[in-house]
Every structure is written in C-alpha cells, then in structure tokens.
Amino acid sequence: MMENVIEVKKLRKEFGDLVAVNNVSFNVEKGEVFGFLGPNGAGKSTTINMLCTILRKSGGEGYIAGKEITTDPEGVRKRIGIIFQENSLDSNLTAYENLYMHCQLYGVDKKVRKERINEVLDIVELTDRQKDQVMYFSGGMKRRLEIARGLLHYPQVLFLDEPTIGLDPQTRNKIWDFIKHLKERINLTIFLTTHYMDEAEYCDRIAIIDHGDIIALDTPDVLKDNLGGDVIEISTNDNQRAIEELDTLFGIESKQKDGVISFNVKKGNEFIPGMISKLSPTINSINLHRPTLNDVFLSLTGREIRDEQLTKQDIFKQKMRAGRH
C-alpha cells in the first residue's frame, strides 16, 4: 500500500458568506505529482494556502506528512517547500544570499549549507549567476531560483501555486522539465495548481475543482477515457434539429455551446462518414480530436476552463483576494 503524504478531509474555507472551498477531501501519495485544475477563482489558491498554513481553515482536517495544518503548523512548515504564485524573492539580494537566508530561516545545518546551495543551484542551472542580484534576473530565472529555494531544506512535499503563470511557452516547458526531473531525482511529492490544460497533463493525478468543489479526481487518461471516446464538434445550419437527430438516429447525447455541437463517440474517424450522410441539416464544419482535459471540464460543467467570463461570485472572490494582500 502506498503511503499518503497529504490527507485532506472535508477541508473548508469561508470568506463571510462566500464558500471558497467546500468540504474537499483527497489524498496524495508519496512521490506523486498531484494537480489542482480549475478556472481562476475556483478555490485552488485558497486550498494551497490552507495546506501551507498561510490561511486558516474554516473547517475540516488537513495532514501533511502526518502533521495537522492548524494544530502543528510549524511541523508542517518544516516539511514543505512552497513556490508562490507571485514572486517572493528579495530582488536586492543576490541569488546566493536569497538561498542562504532560506537556510537560516529553516535552520538548515551550517555545515551542509554551502553544499546544499550548490546542489540546488545546479538543479536549476543557475550556478554561474549566483553572485548576481535577483533584480537582474528574467522571469524564468526567478521562478527557477524560487524552485531551488523551495528545495533547500529537503521538503517532503513541494507546493507550486501556478508555477508557470506569466512565463513564455519556452520557459514554461523548461520549468516543467525541471519539475519532472526533480520527481525522478529525489522522489519528491509535488502538489501544484494550474489553469493550463496542457500542464495538468503532466500530473500523475488531477483534481478538477470548480466553485470550491472537487468535481472529478483521477489520472488524466482515465478522466479523458471516461468521456467515452473521441470528441467531435460540428456546426450546422440547424443545430437544434441536428441535436435531435443525433439522439434519435445514433443515441448520442450532445451539448451545444457558441453554435458548436459537441459529443463523444468511440472511433470518431469511422463515425463521421455515416453521420454526414444521415444528418439532414447541412454541416458547415467538422472537427475531430482526442479528448483533452478541457473537454472533460466542459462535459462536467458545461463551460470551458479558459472562459474568462467571470461570474459575480468569481469577481467577489478576486476582490477578497486583493483585499488580503
């Protein structure tokens, strides 16, 4: 049996009337890369902040390496490394000084400090820049340095809150190479949040979170397979009729969004010719692809994750967040 490094039971957070995290429960096994996927304002950062003991929970329990997050926050802090969504380096200090100060804050043994710093600098390939002040670093370098810092005290769990937000695609890929590399090299448990679909694909398991609830939790492959095959998206000159016909002729349940009908079938490539000949409305466009996590999210919520339209609740949450800083 695998050992759970993170155990969360009915964790809850309220801001006034707003339920930001609604009794979520999940476990994360040792050595796993576990992702929290959801749109902005879904409760990802609130959850991660509670687990990192920055934010006080309203209810439930959370254990990191056996330590409860509110009854033993210092015990938890010693065992975790955190990479925040916003930069948290001191840009007036050099890379080395930032790392050394972290050693001091976390009580890393004096004798091993230099060695550890060299080790993590090597992992993130910043050895030759260690004497430079952080203000001269690019966004990607700062992120890498933060990851290095998070590893200095050999945490059992590394928390990454939107690790690649605001970075260019090339740097994002690089950061992900580091994360995967880390996992292999030191068997670290990684807990991360993201709203990028492609990043969630890298996770061993993901929890999809929306409006404070976990609405699905499994490996990316299982989640996609549960959709029942390939995704076909069509648009026609009479969508209503097409939806009815798909149901009566093929027994397929479909969804319509922005004038596009989408549904799932096994072996979509073989299904398309028959569909074209049998549907009476004229088909304007057809698109076939393997299901993505976005399709999973769409089928669970009826919305796309990248929809930037915010509900009133989301706006309220953003205000709450702004107010806390």
Partner 1 sequence: MEVIYSLWLRDVRKYLRDKARIFGSLAMPFIFLVLFGSGLSGSLQSMMSMGSNAGGLFSDFSYSEFMFPGIILMTSFMTALFGALSVVEDKEFGYMKEILVAPVSRTAIAIGKILGGSTVAVMQGLIMLVFAPLIGVDLSFLMILQLLGVMIIVAFAISGIGLLLATKMKTTQGFQMIVQMLVMPMIFLSGAMFPINGLPDWMSFVVRINPLTYAVDMFKTIILNKEAMNPMMKQALGLDLEIWGMPVTFTAEILIYLVASLVILFFATQSFKHTEA
250-256: long-range contacts (C-beta < 8 A, 24 or more apart)?
A: 250/275, 255/298, 255/299, 255/302
- Least Å distance, CB 79 to partner 1, is 9
- Least Å distance, CB 234 to partner 1, is 47
What are 145's two structure tokens? 């340095």
191 contacts: CB under 8 Å, gap ≥ 6: 6, 28, 34, 36, 48, 51, 157, 158, 159, 160
The SS3 call for residue 72 is coil
CB-nearer residue toward partner 1: 153 or 211: 153
| Rounded distance between C-alpha atoms, residue 81 and residue 147, angstroms | 8
- Least Å distance, CB 176 to partner 1, is 22
30 touching partner 1, by CB under 8 A: no
- Least Å distance, CB 89 to partner 1, is 7
CB-nearer residue toward partner 1: 149 or 211: 149
324 touching partner 1, by CB under 8 A: yes
**Burial classification of residue 191, based on how many CB atoms lie within 10 Å of its CB (0-12 exposed, 13-18 middle, 19 or more buried):** buried
| Rounded distance between C-alpha atoms, residue 316 and residue 90, angstroms | 31
The SS3 call for residue 233 is strand
What mask of x and - would describe binding to partner 1 in positions 33 to 62, judged by CB under 8 A?
A: -------------------xxxx-------
Question: CA triplet 235, 306, 275: central angle to 5 degrees?
Answer: 20
- Least Å distance, CB 27 to partner 1, is 23
What are 299's two structure tokens? 């089928």
CA distance from start to end of the chain: 41
Quick one: which of 166, 168, 169, 147 has its CA closest to 158?
Answer: 147
What mask of x and - would describe binding to partner 1 in positions 266 to 305, judged by CB under 8 A?
A: ----------------------------------------
Interactions with partner 1, residue window 80-109 (CB under 8 A): 82, 84, 86-93, 97, 101-102, 104-107
What mask of x and - would describe binding to partner 1 in positions 114 to 153, judged by CB under 8 A?
A: -----------------------------------x----
- Least Å distance, CB 293 to partner 1, is 29
CB-nearer residue toward partner 1: 101 or 276: 101
Residues that bind partner 1 (CB under 8 A): 52-55, 74-75, 77-78, 82, 84, 86-93, 97, 101-102, 104-107, 149, 324-325
